[in-house]
Chains A and B, each alone.
Chain A
Amino acid sequence: MSHSKDRPSYLAHHFSDPAQQSDSAKLGMWIFILTEILLFGGLFVAYSIFRAWNPDMFYNAHKFLDVKMGGINTVVLITSSVTMALSIRSMQLGRKKQTIGFLVATLLFAAVFLVIKYLEYSHKFHLGQLPGKFYTFTGVKGNNPHIFFSIYFVMTGLHGVHVIAGMTVIVMMLVRTMRNRFSSEYYTPLEMTGLYWHLVDLIWIYLFPLLYLIG
């Protein structure tokens, strides 16, 4: 209160300086990432157990996933991660226009990811490879192949929800960047968005080999 003169406008009242504020945000974000890891972790546990119980069925069922589409999506998502990282770097250097360009690119890649995911889903719906009791496909050898597709849809579906959430946040960041809310001094929200987006990429890095590439 006594030193209100040197307090920048983005500094909340209960922090004593910008470093304390941005460190707090970052620690909070990493703890949030931790919760996301455990959220997906539950699905990885279910995956591991059912795969251990039904190794052959998992192998047979995974052949009905399209490696080409999954691979393209992996490339798309990795590229979007690069553009996201670069958008933050641009803001660190104070280049607002570049930041906007990279954010838009990230959004576009994310959209491409979702379109490809949609194509994959609709193909499976068409064949009757649906989760659980809606499963009607007969081409997979082994017991209870619907379990594989249940897990596939829940894992990729939850990941897809995260992609959409990430896109929403990126749009918000885009708007705030355009309104000059960030500078090379203060860009914490942008940085947090980046962390979140890389997490989305990180999860896909594990989902892709576990679902599409069962050897």
Chain B
Amino acid sequence: MIESTMINRNSHHHIAPLWLYLAIGGALLVLTAVTITVSYIDLGGWNIVVALVIASIKGSLVAMFFMHLYYDKKIYTIVIVMGLLFLSIFISLTMFDTGRRGDIYEIKSEPIKPEADFYKELPPADSLDQTGHSEH
């Protein structure tokens, strides 16, 4: 994390060999075939897990070799990991709400229907058509 502003003046650019790019490309195509095939097998709740794991392997290959994270300074990896960390915070804390409504008090969440009082009290009641879709 701590970098000096004194930078070595002869930093060589890393040039990856041709076969590596082709091999990674090939691996990505194989993994695509695998994920499609697996999706037709019923694994119950595990389907989504397998799909995400395969996608993450593919994503890591792209990031590490095509985007050079594997060779580059660690700071770039840190930047991306931070993004994923905060995204997971976003998803999980939101899910604490959306997944657990009505836990303590027995209020069952129901879809609000067009005939609900809320909609009757809106001033331009005719702006809602019969399915409750707003006309704006």
- Residue numbers of A with Cβ under 8 A of B are 17, 19-20, 23, 26-27, 30-31, 33-34, 37-38, 41-42, 44-45, 48-49, 52-53, 67, 71, 74-75, 78-79, 81-82, 84-86, 89, 92-93, 133, 143, 194-195, 198-199, 201-202, 205-206, 208-210, 213-215
Contact = CB atoms under 8 A, between A and B. Distances in A.
A74 B32 contact: yes
Q: Which secondary structure dominates where chain B touches chain A? A: helix
Interface residues of B, number: 57
A17 B62 contact: no
Given A52-B95, A215-B41, 18 more contacts: A20-B7, A23-B7, A30-B80, A38-B86, A75-B29, A79-B25, A81-B66, A82-B22, A201-B62, A202-B63, A205-B58, A209-B35, A209-B51, A209-B52, A214-B39, A215-B38, A215-B48, A215-B51
Given A38-B87, A49-B94, A86 B18 contact: yes
A34 B130 CA distance: 44
Contact of B36 (A23, A71, A92, A206): A71
A43 to B, nearest CB: 11
A30 B7 contact: no
A20 B3 CA distance: 11
Contact of B21 (A20, A23, A67, A89): A89
A198 to B, nearest CB: 5
A49 B7 contact: no
Nearest to A21: B7
Contact of B28 (A34, A78, A206): A78
Interface string B61-103: 0110111000011011001101110110011001100110000
A77 B98 CA distance: 35
A215 B39 contact: yes
B13 interface: yes
B83 A37 contact: yes
B87 A209 contact: no
Contacts of B29: 75, 78
A75 B29 CA distance: 6
Nearest to A74: B32
A144 to B, nearest CB: 8
Q: Which secondary structure dominates where chain A touches chain B? A: helix
Contacts of A27: 75-76, 79
B42 A34 contact: no
A206 B59 contact: yes
A41 to B, nearest CB: 4
A52 B99 contact: yes
Contacts of B113: none
B15 interface: yes
B108 interface: no
Given A34-B82, A209-B35, A209-B52, A85 B91 contact: no
B15 A213 contact: no
